Structure 1
Amino acid sequence: MRYDDLYIDNTILSSRSPYASYDAPHAHFKGVQLIADPIHGYIPFTVPIESVDGACEAAESDLIDSPWMQRLRAIAQLQSARWVFPAAEHSRFQHSLGTMHIAGRFAQHLYPTLFDVEPECPSLPYIESLLRISGLLHDIGHGPLCHFFDDHYLSRFAISHEMIGHRIISQLLCDPISRIRRSPSGEFAPDEVLEPHYVAYLMQKKLSDDPSMPRWLRLLKPVLAGVYTADNLDYVLRDAYMCGVAVGPVDLDRLPHYSFITEHGLTLHTAGIGALNMFLTARHYLYTHVYGHRTTRAIDLHLQELFPDTMNYIFPWNPLERLDDYLWLTDWSLLETVRRWAALAHTGKRDLGASWDAILKRRLKWKMAYDATAALRQIETLTGTTPDAGHVMRLIHEALPRSYQDLEFKLDTTSRGPRHTLPTAEHTWPLATYDPSTGDIQARPLAARFEHIPKPVTQYRIYTTDHAGIQPLARTCEAVLAQYLP
């Protein structure tokens, strides 16, 4: 198939025009309001319009103002990194609004080619609303400290925040979702009804492809679960801005502009490859210098020691079985609870409270003694494998001078890089490219196109509680890790 000309077929859209029902110049403003946002300027959202008979429809504002969405105001976007970057006090609520907005932009741009591939797909306003609401609700299942909560609490129940979000959407928000009949650009076609399970499907990144879902819906999955998404485009821009970190340009206009739907799925025009390179590089910088900042990781090491016992006191249940109680579990409720524990007579809570007090006052238990970063491929080439953290710890302990054999230390390893999210990886949704010089869609691996972006890296950091042991520990680490690091 050749795609020499990408165009919007006005004959396709005319019968489904988002403005077809507007019978007066001022009607465009009816039922839509604006939210001021530092990243996107103004974000439009729908509000209910009262009908002639006095009945009131549901709208996006009903979801935005719901207790579950308002709860996200009390959950920080950057978990422990906000104790490192003082201005990063933004919340999952703000990020969710931004994700909703970008998802709507994708819908507007992708719809003509989606219709071309799947003529039986719903109307443009329906697709726009579906993607926007999926973006709005994609983080609704998060707990306090966000992904840390997944790794160090939800894992004991073998669940994730996305599974909780699926339950909230399908059981608690299904009524307002199914009663929405408009997007910011217009009304749905007659008899079109938003399906909550469509929303739940789109917002779950780790959910494998479901052949029972309509093909048009599966073609839209990468908008929220692909390489560049409404989610990660917003958080890269927002987190960098709120942290005061310069990450280089993220071209939020060019990437959607050169994206379209083909029989191969989401496809990127080769003219957009440069913008994707820049975005992946910016995202990589945030992961290595903000989310994985040395002090952020030191705080996380301390939190790992406290969190299981803390949660046993505060919320010892599976959230899926206690959603009414989970509604009130946020960063605010958690931190205000543990803040009082240091003064209690209860020994267990008092000891935990003292440790929490140290974290909240930034009296860090763990100090970094050694830091090394190496490209993952270089490590594997040199050693034949990625070194096991436990094995490295034993080697370091054995090599320490005798007088420091009792030194308390931890090895923190993190592997990250934009190539982990490239469409060549099996766990990501596919991304085809369109080459205008041949008119062909290429679905083959894209590694060659991304050879100039940073390679996946592994960071090795050694932390200790003893300042006096930092130098001998650093020298020992240097000697031990020399056999692994190029």
Structure 2
Amino acid sequence: MAYKDEQLNEEKVFKDPVHRYVHVKDRVIWDLIATPEFQRLRRIKQLGTTNYTFHGAEHSRFNHSLGVYEIVRRIIHNFEDRPHWNEDERLLSLCAALLHDLGHGPFSHSFENVFKLDHEDFTQRIILGETKVNKVLERVSTGFAQKVADVIAKTYEDKLVVSLISSQIDADRMDYLQRDAYFTGVSYGHFDMERILRVMRPIDDQVVIKSTGMHAVEDYIMSRYQMYWQVYFHPVTRSAEVILSRILHRAKHLYEADDYIFKLEPTHFLSFFTGNVTLEEYLKLDETIVHYYFQMWQEEADGILRDLCERFMNRRLFKYIEFNPNMQMQEWKELYQLFQHAGIDPEYYLVVDSSSDLPYDFYRPGEEEERLPIHLQMPNDELKELSRNSDIVDAISGKKRTDHKLYFPKDLLDGLSDERMKRRIKEILNERGEIENDD
């Protein structure tokens, strides 16, 4: 029997808190899960610093990747014998679902932003490089690894396969909304996935929704909207991310300085600092390693690095207020100068952070492909774009929401000896809005 068709002697299952069980029967999938590159995802948290706000959010990219695989497995099962679905794409779809987040680094997006990295680029490098994952995929057939990489890159010729893990209603989103809601303990991310899976239909190059399932999709979109603003963009979580990014910036700055000697040399970060990251070095860095450095850097001679690491490790986060520097440029300039005069480096202790989200959009020429709309299949088989039939979705369609906050260390301001300077800083901050607590 060819490797691509090989089945395990007995189906394996992973007990899962969201989907109850994750079922594995294909030898290829089982072998991929066992690779070091996939096992590494156990050491990358799904939600980065969100556990500083919701203490249960300790789940990993490993959990999520298995969940996305399981949803795609169930979708494909429902697609069997339906027109427009090519059964030859089954294994490719499962592999792409399992491996779609393979390239995430520690603290994911925060880490990427500091070092100008792209996890999707590293996902493809892992799949196509000299890795155990690549060896498994190439055993399926020569060039199979490239096909998997193409699906994840959204360049694969069969757009129906791509849409299973990358569209406005895909397995990736359906898993992380439910999984993140479960582990954070919130109610926002729950929706009737069973119903959605039952009404999904493969049509040409996309998955459409049977019109009778419209209300389940409305619930899904509103769940996503609420999760972004109540969980993913929570200001306390963003405060931890701000400190994390400032630590990495400071460590890079000290490394580039000729006169600073680290007590603990940042060996695992060197290639990131120089912008020449090899795949081998990338795979060696996970969140356990980063936490080790942060723990040890609390003893560094540099006061800023030492302070920021102590704040991150012990959850002494920055306070925040609503603040848009584009609208309050004069206040921003004055605050910046006041911080400098007070001896509080504004590059590290006065940070504006912006969050934005577009919960749903219909197709607009030139926009990214994932904004292709969700279509409803009407009783006469006509396809209609979702927001044209749903007042709820129409109300938020195309409406991008952006939120700006200013983060700063209130404890350092409270400790200033110059009362006039302290008073003026607090006047500016309080003019912009009440200082928020971090709980």
Same fold (TM over 0.5): yes
Aligned to 2:242, what secondary structure does the other structure show?
helix
Contact 1:236/1:282, CA 8 A, preserved across alignment? yes
Query: Cα 1:474–1:112, aligned 2, differ >3 Å: closer, same or farther?
Result: farther
Within a 5 Å distance, the mapping from 1:415-430 to structure 2 comes to 415-419=356-360, 423=363, 426-429=367-370, 430=372
* Alpha-carbon distance, 1:175 to partner: 2.0
Task: Tell whether 2:403 aligns with 1:459.
Answer: yes
Within a 5 Å distance, the mapping from 1:329-368 to structure 2 comes to 329-343=285-299, 347-348=301-302, 351-364=304-317, 366-368=318-320
Task: Tell whether 2:301 aligns with 1:301.
Answer: no
Aligned to 1:30, what secondary structure does the other structure show?
strand
Amino acid aligned to 1:177: L
Aligned to 1:278, what secondary structure does the other structure show?
helix
1:390-442 Cα deviation digits (max 9, x unpaired):
43342334788x999968644332222413x5555821443452443443123
Task: Tell whether 2:124 aligns with 1:170.
Answer: no
Q: Aligned to 2:33, which of 44, 55, 64?
A: 64
Which residue pairs with 2:101 in the alignment?
Answer: 139
Deviates more, 1:229-238 or 1:251-260: 251-260
Amino acid aligned to 2:326: H
* Alpha-carbon distance, 1:85 to partner: 1.2
* Alpha-carbon distance, 1:352 to partner: 2.1
Which residue pairs with 1:270 in the alignment?
Answer: 211
1:361-401 Cα deviation digits (max 9, x unpaired):
0112x211x338xxxxxxxxxxxxxxxx543342334788x
* Alignment partners' CA distance in 1, 2:59 and 2:427: 40
* Alignment partners' CA distance in 2, 1:41 and 1:176: 27
1:233-256 Cα deviation digits (max 9, x unpaired):
111101110011111631111222
Query: Cα 1:326–1:442, aligned 2, differ >3 Å: closer, same or farther?
Result: same
Aligned to 1:68, what secondary structure does the other structure show?
helix
* Alpha-carbon distance, 1:260 to partner: 1.4
Amino acid aligned to 1:178: E
* Alpha-carbon distance, 1:178 to partner: 3.3
Which residue pairs with 2:262 in the alignment?
Answer: none
* Alpha-carbon distance, 1:465 to partner: 2.5
Deviates more, 1:295-304 or 1:430-439: 430-439
Aligned to 1:101, what secondary structure does the other structure show?
helix
Contact 2:65/2:101, CA 8 A, preserved across alignment? yes
Task: Tell whether 2:45 aligns with 1:76.
Answer: yes
Query: Cα 1:31–1:80, aligned 2, differ >3 Å: closer, same or farther?
Result: same
* Alpha-carbon distance, 1:37 to partner: 0.5
Amino acid aligned to 1:322: T
Amino acid aligned to 1:412: D
Any stretches of 5+ residues in structure 2 without a counterpart?
A: 256-265, 415-422, 435-439
Q: State, as a whole percentage, how many aligned pairs show the same letter.
A: 24
Query: Cα 1:279–1:177, aligned 2, differ >3 Å: closer, same or farther?
Result: same
Q: Aligned to 1:201, which of 140, 150, 157?
A: 150
Within a 5 Å distance, the mapping from 1:147-226 to structure 2 comes to 147-153=109-115, 155=116, 159-171=117-129, 172=131, 173-180=133-140, 195-204=144-153, 207=154, 210=155, 213-214=156-157, 217-226=158-167
* Alpha-carbon distance, 1:202 to partner: 1.7
* Alignment partners' CA distance in 1, 2:142 and 2:194: 30
1:51-106 Cα deviation digits (max 9, x unpaired):
xxxxxxxx322111111111111111111111221111111111111111111112
Which residue pairs with 2:269 in the alignment?
Answer: 315
In the superposition, the TM-score normalised over structure 2's length comes to 0.79
Contact 1:266/1:431, CA 8 A, preserved across alignment? no
* Alignment partners' CA distance in 1, 2:105 and 2:333: 40
Query: Cα 1:437–1:140, aligned 2, differ >3 Å: closer, same or farther?
Result: closer
Which residue pairs with 1:391 in the alignment?
Answer: 326
Query: Cα 1:439–1:360, aligned 2, differ >3 Å: closer, same or farther?
Result: same
Task: Tell whether 2:84 aligns with 1:117.
Answer: yes
* Alignment partners' CA distance in 1, 2:359 and 2:25: 35
Deviates more, 1:256-265 or 1:306-315: 306-315
Contact 2:111/2:245, CA 8 A, preserved across alignment? no
* Alignment partners' CA distance in 1, 2:51 and 2:246: 19
Task: Tell whether 2:388 aligns with 1:436.
Answer: no
Which residue pairs with 2:259 in the alignment?
Answer: none
Aligned to 2:24, what secondary structure does the other structure show?
strand
Amino acid aligned to 1:76: K
Contact 2:362/2:385, CA 8 A, preserved across alignment? no
* Alignment partners' CA distance in 2, 1:456 and 1:260: 29
Structure with bigger helix share is 2
Which residue pairs with 1:371 in the alignment?
Answer: 322
Amino acid aligned to 2:311: A
Query: Cα 1:315–1:471, aligned 2, differ >3 Å: closer, same or farther?
Result: closer
* Alignment partners' CA distance in 2, 1:289 and 1:84: 11
Amino acid aligned to 1:323: L
1:112-162 Cα deviation digits (max 9, x unpaired):
34xx236xx4xx3x5332222111111111111111112111x1xxx4111
Aligned to 2:201, what secondary structure does the other structure show?
strand
Contact 1:265/1:431, CA 8 A, preserved across alignment? no
Any stretches of 5+ residues in structure 1 without a counterpart?
A: 1-20, 23-27, 49-58, 181-191, 373-388, 480-486
Say how many residue pairs are matched.
391
Amino acid aligned to 2:279: L
* Alignment partners' CA distance in 2, 1:442 and 1:278: 18
Deviates more, 1:65-74 or 1:193-202: 193-202
Which residue pairs with 2:427 in the alignment?
Answer: 472
Amino acid aligned to 2:305: L
Deviates more, 1:447-456 or 1:269-278: 447-456
1:308-327 Cα deviation digits (max 9, x unpaired):
34366332326885222222
Amino acid aligned to 1:371: E
Amino acid aligned to 1:439: D
* Alignment partners' CA distance in 2, 1:145 and 1:306: 13
